[in-house]
Structure 1
Amino acid sequence: MALVLPPLDYTLSPYTGLAREHWCAYADYLLRSAHRFGTEDHANIHLPGANSRYGPRSDSLEAFARTFLLASFRIAGDPSATGWIAEWYADGLDAGTNPANPDRWPTPGELGQAKVEAASLAVGLALTRDVLWEKLPGRVQEQLIAWFETVIGEEYPPINWVWFQIVVETFLASVGGRSSGEDIDAGLAVHDALYRGGGWFADGPERAYDHYVGWAFQVYPQLWALMAPNDPRVAARKKLDGDRLAEYLDDASHLVGANGAPLIQGRSLIYRFAAAAPFWVGELSGHSPLSPGLSRRAASGMLGYFARHGSITDDGLLSIGWHGEFAGMKQAYSGAGSPYWAAKGMLGLALPADHPAWTAVEAPLPVEVADTQRLIAAPGWQIDGTVADGVVRIRNHATDHAVVGALVADSPLYARIGYSTHTFPDLSPESRDNAVVFVDPSGRLTHRTGFEYLGSFSEDGVQVGASRFTAHWIEPDPDAGPDHGSGVSGTATPGPSVTVVSITRGAIELRLVRVRSEGPAAPLRIGGWPVDASSSVVSSVRAVPGFGRPLDTSGTFVRSGAHPVGSELTIPWVGTSGTAHDGDYAAVVVLAGDGGASTDAGVTYADDHFEFPDGTSISLEQLARFHG
């Protein structure tokens, strides 16, 4: 099989060239390629690759359900041309829920992961009700209802999973099955309890902010509303959920780079262009504050980015990885079918061809219009996008997938000081990657997780954010459990108390560090951005002359071997040649792409003021709230 695309359309889509026909071609190619690994009865898709911790029965259901979600979008938006898709999945829906089939699916009552996949099946059936559900034989409808009904009364973890129960039971109610209003109300209560303001949700009690805010907490409420437009709950929540989505999308549009990549941060990154889902659901629901051309620009940028960088294998499959295959990104719940939650990012295919999201001319992303600055309160992120190189960066002072005071290892995808659209984090928990760390005699580095967020503000053209933590070494617990995003637990040895302040303007961060030795003293390292040795983006770290204690040594850490976006990771750093003494330290940390800031860009200090290369300055008095 080969992917055949129509010519790129730079009249309609001046930034990506991608129109609806290209999206359809990618979707059909992904579906046909996955079907080659389906069983004869189509109930299970056994994709090549490693199994998740839940085993092959779970993984083959996952592959069916997630590709079915993609299929449902395709059918809903173009029912007359997708009969072949509907027929293929109709057979599998029958075989998968037939109790007499020895290869039937495990029910949600039997397997936790089936609770997740049931939601994709329910949403897909609701979107294709006229085309698929209503044409299924009564026997098959009854089988599906019985299979779905095993979710009733089941326990769901109080995270984004509550939506899986809500949408399944809502679908059951719409087709005459049993359902529990108490389950739905309890799930909605959990959802609201996780709201942190400004359109942002935490995925649980920890400071877990990531793409689940968009592809789960914002997408499911809108799909649920489409599934049950006459439900009084939907009517009561319509404005609330719509306003939350609008606020989130306004932020999310600032987190896409001109290269098309979403912010590279958080767990489940193997879902790749699922990050496009909230942009499409904004158009589908009518709650987007963005122009239709901007929504499609963001979504098409993501699809184009991953297509260019090898996310689709030669077999037409989505691999576990970011660009291409990278086994190191596999988490405990990742099977070969897991990456197909990228299907959420193709939600726009449910919109008809004449919808403005498809007919409007692409509009530029915020970072393609001008330099951007934005503070997002809930996750403690300060965004700096630069139009010259299209890079979007965040500095992070309130997200670590933990709670304040936790002494665990840093999660590489949550706890770094910086993330961007052009760099992939070093996946080792101990790292100089965007770090302020101390080195013990054996070479072990400290962690910052459990830090206290001190706040942020914007003033006179610069953004400032700060956090305080007890640097600690971790001896990992060999029985720490599966990786679901949090840092590894273990035995902690406290080190110095550290306050870090990030003062940013565009590509340049002035990183101030105050050290108070409350534990073992050790040399200090201030690390810059991780870049591949062959990358066009460049990273540098330099000391600020004349301020505080000296940073009198420097170097570049090199991690040889494949990583998600290349083959050799490099991280520049500055530090102390001996023990770091109590006091203040300052470094300039730069990440710049082609045409962007010079890595030689410095920040000068004189008369109690720091001055950026363009003359913008900030005084110590303005920073006193953090460094006082």
Structure 2
Amino acid sequence: MSAPAGRLPPEDPDLSPYTGWTRAHWVAVAENLLLSVRPYASPRHARIDLPGPASSSGAASDGLEGFARTFLLAGFLVAGHGGEDPHGFLDWYRRGLAAGTDPDSAERWPRPDELGQAKVEAASVALVLMLTRPWLWDRMRRQERDRVLEWMSAVVGESYPPINWVWFQVMAEEFLRSAGGRWSRADIDAGLAVHAGLARADGWYSDGQERSYDYYCGWALHFYPLVWASLAAERPRAELVDGWRRDLSRFLDDYIGLIGADGSPVLQGRSLIYRMAAAAPLWGGAWSGATALAPGRIRRAASGILRHFHDNGALDGGLLSLGWHRAWPAMRQTYSGGGSPYWAAKGFFGLVLPPDHPVWTAREEPLPAEDGGLQRTVRAPGWIIGTDPRDGIARIVNHGTDHAREGDVLTDSPLYARLGYSSATVPPLVGGTLDAPLDNSVAVLDSSGAATHRTGFTALGVFHEGAVATAGSRWRAHWIDPSQDTGRDHGSGRPGTARPGPTLEVWSAVRGPDEVRLVRVGDEPAPDGRGWRLRVGGWPVLREHGPATSVEALTDHPGLVSGTEHLGDAGPLEGETAVPWVCADVAPGEVMACLVRLGAEAAAAPRPRVRIEAGGAVLTWPDGVEARVALHG
């Protein structure tokens, strides 16, 4: 299929002028990943026990994950080559299938009705068995097939969380139906109903009833429906499939703006250790035709993602670690173990497409971050998405996502509740800022310096008129002591003992790399009878080689000071994190305006002027562009 494992073929600057990479590079990386995990397999290959701390589900679950997720990668690779398999991947995994589903084997897998995580992994096994049926399932012995069916049939009638997990049951039972096993139409219909209830505006989905907007939207909730529809024994209703196609196409119009020119996706949301899985919805669009993106732009985006992680050390010795670039286990959730990062296999779904598919043969086209930039509002997650070719950074300004419901009183989840995310920065994930938000925050400080949280805010909408986009949110600022919380980390903020502060109404007016952050403090009286101590935090950048950033007040207030907090090695990007901030005493009912910048011209560009009026503010940039922002109080 490719060059020797671990070695890359020559780059092709004519076909791929932005990344140099072709389908052959994808094949080479996939083969290297698959061959590199073999030394960690159990004797009969049912478990692949990869390095790293154990997940909350235990070692047996982690070994199953190592098998199922790398099996997914092998399935995409072999299916895309019409069964050609010079490394014998399918035969190798066939041994593991036989041993893992044998109830008398020392390597037996936990059943889906015994362990929740097995429900997830059953879907990957099912998908590969459907994609590779002529070369694997049809060649297995009857006794082996019966054991697989018996193990997987444990999903039937089981309860699944009403999130992306419902697709794991749908996929497993579709395989059971296709192979003559036990299955339930009611289970599939229930899963489809849950999925329909997760649909939001403009092709977006929320992964649950909370405001949970993250990569699961693309690598699960957009990925599975069209794949399932193509494999289903009974094709779903045409209007259902057409709706999924429209959703994916519309979603990808926004999604392409979440990738930086260096190939890095925006660092936002849980399960970021899945890395290249961020390419999955792009390949889904190419595979289904459900996108207006040109084939060359899709490949440039996907290959940019893969090359970004490859070149930044994510494939350490051929293995994917718990981290972003290199190993950084502190960024994982408690459900993650050594085999978990191999859900990155979803990002290799493009290998299912044959070498002569236009997505592989078209010349690469630039990303928005490289060609003219992009600024757009996204209603469902409450985001302003922006890219600027001067620095190639993809940015989000966030006024709609917090992995919570309106009115919840929780700590701010660093990967959901911040006011900004980008492809070049990551919120601090260790240290005191977990319980006292600093970066991209607006917080009130008490007499001890403790900061309030915003989770549970009211979203006020996103708007785009002319050159300036605006978005706003309002919340009752609250201090929380979460010290008694010992629950699992699934991305949400943490509960605890709370005490209220003032109401804060915050609007962001965005133009290119400029965000004018307007803060109106509510009418609640301050403890000292004068003003609340307000802190506005900027972008968390790497001190030595991160992008330029700044925060400065555009209105004058008593006690106004500014500074930079140096947080050390607080995130998975290599280097020490620094966060600029400004603080001031702001009276009840008063408005504070700050200019928050990230990018190549953050410090040098002329700043806009702000005029505070009754009920709002008028912003004027040096070139005459003006925006009016209403503040409702």
Q: TM-score range by the shorter chain?
A: over 0.9
Which residue pairs with 2:608 in the alignment?
603
The Cα of 1:234 is off from its aligned counterpart by 5.3
Structure 2 match to 1:146: 150
Write out per-residue CA displacement over residues 93-141 of structure 1, whole angstroms, 9 at most, x where no aligned residue.
1111112202211110111000000000001111111111111111111
What does residue 503 of structure 1 align with?
509
**For structure 1, which segment, 517-526 or 331-340, has the greater mean C-alpha deviation from structure 2 after superposition?**
517-526
Q: State the shift of 1:443 in Å.
A: 2.3
Residues 4-403 of structure 1 mapped to structure 2, 5 A cutoff: 4-78=7-81, 79-82=83-86, 84-228=88-232, 230-233=233-236, 235-313=238-316, 315-403=317-405
TM-score (norm 1): 0.95
Tell me whether 27-36 or 551-560 shows the greater mean CA deviation: 551-560
Shift of 1:552: 1.5
Say whether 1:540 aligns with 2:550: yes
The separation in 1 between residues aligned to 2:389 and 2:284, in whole angstroms, is 27
Alpha-carbon displacement from aligned partner over 1:58-85 (angstroms, at most 9, x marks no partner) = 0000010000000000010112244511
AA matched with 2:129: L
| In the alignment, structure 1 residue 585 sits paired with structure 2 residue 589 | no
Following superposition, which runs of at least 4 residues in structure 1 exceed 6 angstroms of deviation? Answer: none
Supply the distance in 2 between the matched residues of 1:551 and 1:240 (Cα, whole angstroms): 55
Which residue matches 1:462? 468
Q: Distance in 2 between matches of 1:286 and 1:610?
A: 43
Partner Cα separation in structure 2 for residue 568 and residue 580 of structure 1:
35
Asked whether the equivalents of residues 462 and 504 of structure 1 are also in contact (C-alpha less than 8 Å), the reply is yes
Deviations 1:11-52 (A, max 9, x none): 111111110110011000110111110011111101111000
Letter in 2 for 1:68: F
Aligned to 1:563: 571
CA distance in 2, matches of 1:498, 1:146: 56
- The answer as to whether partners of 1:495 and 1:519 remain within 8 angstroms in 2 is no
Change (3 A) 1:615 1:278: same
Given that residues 526 and 588 in structure 2 are in contact (C-alpha distance below 8 angstroms), is that contact kept between their aligned partners in structure 1? no
> For residue 539 of structure 2, what is the aligned residue in structure 1?
529
CA distance, structure 1, for counterparts of residue 168 and residue 229 of structure 2:
14
Could you give the per-residue CA deviations for residues 255-280 of structure 1, whole angstroms, max 9, x where no partner exists?
A: 11111111110000000110100000
Instruction: Give the drift of 1:607.
Output: 8.7
Counterparts of 1:480 and 1:97 in 2: how far apart (Å)? 34
Q: CA deviation at 1:536?
A: 3.7
Identify which range, 443-452 or 211-220, moves more after superposition: 443-452
**Gap change, CA 1:6 and 1:551, over 3 Å in 2:** farther
Partner of 2:445: 439
Contact 2:550-2:596 at 8 Å conserved across structures? yes
Kindly provide the amino acid, as one letter, of the partner of residue 469 in structure 2.
Q
How far off its partner does 1:236 sit?
4.7
Change (3 A) 1:613 1:81: farther
CA separation in 2, counterparts of 1:2 and 1:562? 34
Q: CA RMSD in A?
A: 1.6
Offset, 1:548: 6.2
Q: Are the structure 2 counterparts of residues 520 and 108 from structure 1 closer, same or farther at C-alpha, using a change threshold of 3 Å?
A: farther
- Distance (whole Å) between structure 1 residues aligned to residue 341 and residue 100 of structure 2: 21
Output the CA distance in 1 between the equivalents of 2:523 and 2:478.
Answer: 12
Deviation at 1:561, TM superposition (A): 2.6
Q: How far, CA to CA, are the matches of 2:399 and 2:487 in structure 1?
A: 26
CA contact (8 A) 1:551 1:574 kept: no
Of 1-10 and 455-464, the range deviating more from structure 2:
1-10
Judging changes above 3 Å, is the alpha-carbon distance between structure 1 residues 613 and 90 closer, same or farther for their aligned structure 2 residues? farther
Asked if structure 1 preserves the Cα contact closer than 8 Å seen for 2:549 and 2:603, the reply is: no
Structure 2 runs not aligned, ≥5 long: none
Q: Give the deviation of 1:441 after TM superposition.
A: 2.1
Equivalent pairs: percent with the same residue? 50
Report the 3-state secondary structure (helix = DSSP H, G, I; strand = E; otherwise coil) of the residue aligned with 2:485.
coil
CA deviations 1:226-264 (Å, max 9, x no partner) are: 221x41425452211111111111111111111111111
